[in-house]
Amino acid sequence: MAKNRHSVVVDPAHGGRDKGVRLTKKFYEKDVTLAIAKLLKKELDRSKNISVLLTRSADRDVSMSDRVKMAKRKNTKLFISLHVNAGFGRSSSGFEVYFPGFKLPSTGKSASKEIPKDMVKTKYLNESVRFAKIVEKNLEKIFRRKDRGLRSAPIPVLEGLTVPAVVLEIGFATNIKDRKKLMDKAVQKSIAGALAKSIREFF
């Protein structure tokens, strides 16, 4: 890999026996995330300075530890995990962008030992937020969907990463309009295009 290339790890959530949320009897979250991830990779493969690694390129089981291991590769510059949301009711809709959340130590002897680690975390947290804002802007432009905002949360796949990272919840499987859009290949392509644009802007 050329030194001037940015390596991006894209994680299509679920896969294989882990189907994720159900959209129809035969169509699941794992299918949506993989379709969008493949389209995103295809789009970014045209870029001279960006390379994409998918945590899975087929409908197969991938453990959480293996996904994290790929994200922690030495040359990784950005990590994106794609998901489909689900609400308790049918009214919830829109997309959400999550970035890592952590707390800084406040007092005590252990606090000083943790400061260097937290400085590193802060650096990548700031970059994660910057990327999340770019994604939010471009998703709003490409397709009209209620934006549910940026959110910080302790998400397992993001824990321990020292690269900018986000989890994107692309619409709600429990909402009829969202569900139809997520199954539409044209909308999937639009989402992938918005993400590709966001990644180019980030670098």
Distance, CA of 105 to chain centre? 27
CA distance 171 to 177: 9
CA distance 170 to 137: 14
- pLDDT number for residue 103: 45
Q: Token pair for residue 66?
A: 């293996």
- pLDDT number for residue 162: 86
pTM of the model: 0.86
pLDDT, the chain, mean: 86
**Strands 165-172 and 95-100: what pairing?**
antiparallel
Q: How confident is the model at residue 4 (pLDDT cuts 50, 70, 90)?
A: confident
* Most confident option among 103-117, 129-143, 152-166, 173-187: 173-187
Span 119-144, pLDDT tens digits: 445 778 899 999 999 999 999 876 56
CA distance 64 to 167: 14
- pLDDT average, residue stretch 166-177: 93
Going by C-alpha positions, the residue among 40, 71, 81, 54 that lies closest to residue 196 is 40
Q: Which residue has the tokens 């390596």?
A: 7
Domains of the chain with bracketed CATH: 6-202 (3.40.630.40)
- pLDDT average, residue stretch 131-160: 77
Q: Which range among 68-77, 100-109, 144-153 shows the weakest confidence by mean pLDDT?
A: 100-109
Is the model's pLDDT at 116 over the cut of 70? no
